Amino acid sequence: MRGRPAPPPPRRRRHRGPRARAREPPPSPSPHTRRHEHSTPHPGYDARAAHEFAMEHGIAVRAIAVEVADAAEAFAECVRHGARPVLPPARLAGAEGEGAVTVSEVGLYGDAVLRWVSGDVGRTPFLPGYAAVGPPGPAGDFGVERLDHAVGNVPELVPVVEYLMRATGFHEFAEFTAEDVGTVDSGLNSMVLASDNEQVLLPVNEPTFGTRRKSQIQTYLEQHQGPGVQHMALRTGDIFRTVRAMRERTGRGGFDFMPRASAAYYRDLPARIGGALTADEYRACEELGILVDRDDQGVLLQLFTAPIGDRSAVFLEIIQRLCPAEERLRAEGRTGADAEVGGCGGFGKGNFSELFKSIEDYERTLDV
């Protein structure tokens, strides 16, 4: 033995309280401070504002993004012409291989904004700083090519249209009135705004009153709690393929669609549209519930989903435009947007009556 063993060290009293507290997560920051503690790739993102937007409008559209040559110049010009500034130009520097993008935002209507985007857009599927959270799901490619138009509902059409024309330089593309629409039960007035090249199309609706049933635009304004985007039309090159794929998934968490048009509608369709579609295509339209219309430039095939959120408000439209002028452009070697004639075939004015009947049928099931 080499002496007495050293006494054991004194047992330390366990201060359970402080240690236990230290293991607890820090208190949640208030909504007022939370937005300063998390970074986001989007400079305009504000968690508190996003939460308030969702509480007020439900699932709804906040921004319509348009690719432009210079988002900073677009912002400056719009604001100089009276646009409400929302997000001053901000540069999003990407990681290697992503490129840099500039975004800016001006007021559209209600709480929705027009977002200008320029720079290395399209080099990657996302804006710089965003990444896919996983591989694409089993849904695959539905054939949707791009946003064709985005429609807004507002209480008063003229002030909104005047604001947008002044602020953006867009021009009036076409106009519908209550007389055009043809139902006595769902009144609206509508105007379509278009960019210079008519690749950006922004129809705007207002409700009309004095009808037996409440205007579906008014129903939207109540459900959405104010002006906002009513629908986004997604353009496909093969609507039969796109809609068939979507309908196959309706029962598996996919989109529901508006009630189908009547058998009489499909019986009368070939006489109304003519030889632009084959007999098989007319049959496919009836099978899939696709509506068809035409104007002096081309033919429009369209189908509307049921409202996609928690309210009878925003929905999607799937469209295909059959346009002889576009076929000529493609034959000349043009591709993409350069081979498109904006709004060719119209927006389905000839189907408004049928569409509104189906919206009314749908709304009757909701008691709104």
Q: In angstroms, rounded to a whole number, what is the distance separating the alpha carbons of residues 256 and 348?
A: 20
CB nearer to Fe ion: give 57 or 231.
231
Stretch that binds Fe ion, among 21-29, 268-276, 310-318, 336-344 (CB under 5 A): 310-318
* Of the candidate residues 98, 317, 340, 354, the single one contacting Fe ion (CB under 5 A): 317
Taking the complex as a whole, the smallest distance from the CB of residue 161 to Fe ion amounts, in Å, to 17
Taking the complex as a whole, the smallest distance from the CB of residue 367 to Fe ion amounts, in Å, to 26
Site membership for Fe ion, residue 206 (CB under 5 A): no
The pairing of beta strand 171-176 with beta strand 100-107 = unpaired
Taking the complex as a whole, the smallest distance from the CB of residue 304 to Fe ion amounts, in Å, to 8
CB nearer to Fe ion: give 75 or 347.
347
Residue nearest to Fe ion (CB): 233
Q: Which of residues 139-198 bind Fe ion (CB under 5 A)?
A: none
Stretch that binds Fe ion, among 206-214, 259-267, 286-294, 311-319 (CB under 5 A): 311-319
Taking the complex as a whole, the smallest distance from the CB of residue 188 to Fe ion amounts, in Å, to 13
Closest-CA residue to 323 (of 300, 302, 291, 303): 300
Q: Which of residues 69-128 bind Fe ion (CB under 5 A)?
A: none
Stretch that binds Fe ion, among 182-190, 269-277, 314-322, 360-368 (CB under 5 A): 314-322
Taking the complex as a whole, the smallest distance from the CB of residue 171 to Fe ion amounts, in Å, to 19
The answer to whether the Cα torsion of 336, 339, 342, 343 is positive or negative is negative
Q: What number of chain residues touch Fe ion (CB under 5 A)? A: 2
Taking the complex as a whole, the smallest distance from the CB of residue 233 to Fe ion amounts, in Å, to 4
Q: Order of strands, edge to edge, in the sheet holding 85-93? A: 63-67, 113-119, 100-107, 85-93
The residues, ordered by sequence, that sit 6+ positions from 274 with a Cβ below 8 Å of its Cβ are 294
Taking the complex as a whole, the smallest distance from the CB of residue 149 to Fe ion amounts, in Å, to 6
Taking the complex as a whole, the smallest distance from the CB of residue 87 to Fe ion amounts, in Å, to 27
Q: Which helix or strand (DSSP H or E) is residue 264 part of?
A: helix 263-273
Angle of the 279-288 helix axis to the 239-248 helix axis, nearest 10: 30
CB nearer to Fe ion: give 187 or 343.
343
Q: Do the beta carbons of residue 241 and residue 177 sit within 8 Å?
A: no
Q: Which of residues 208-237 bind Fe ion (CB under 5 A)?
A: 233
Q: In angstroms, rounded to a whole number, what is the distance separating the alpha carbons of residues 355 and 258?
A: 8
Q: In angstroms, rounded to a whole number, what is the distance separating the alpha carbons of residues 123 and 136?
A: 18
CB nearer to Fe ion: give 233 or 291.
233
**DSSP one-letter code for 337:** G
Taking the complex as a whole, the smallest distance from the CB of residue 231 to Fe ion amounts, in Å, to 6
CB nearer to Fe ion: give 75 or 265.
265
Q: Do the beta carbons of residue 348 and residue 300 sit within 8 Å?
A: yes
CB nearer to Fe ion: give 105 or 317.
317
CB nearer to Fe ion: give 81 or 349.
349
Q: In angstroms, rounded to a whole number, what is the distance separating the alpha carbons of residues 40 and 2?
A: 65
Closest-CA residue to 228 (of 108, 105, 52): 108
Taking the complex as a whole, the smallest distance from the CB of residue 359 to Fe ion amounts, in Å, to 13
CB nearer to Fe ion: give 233 or 359.
233
Distances (CA, A) of 65 to 46, 171, 294, 329, 360: 18, 18, 28, 26, 31
Q: In angstroms, rounded to a whole number, what is the distance separating the alpha carbons of residues 34 and 52?
A: 14
Distances (CA, A) of 233 to 28, 64, 82, 315, 343: 40, 12, 28, 9, 11
CB nearer to Fe ion: give 219 or 351.
351
CB nearer to Fe ion: give 206 or 317.
317
Binding site for Fe ion (CB under 5 A): 233, 317
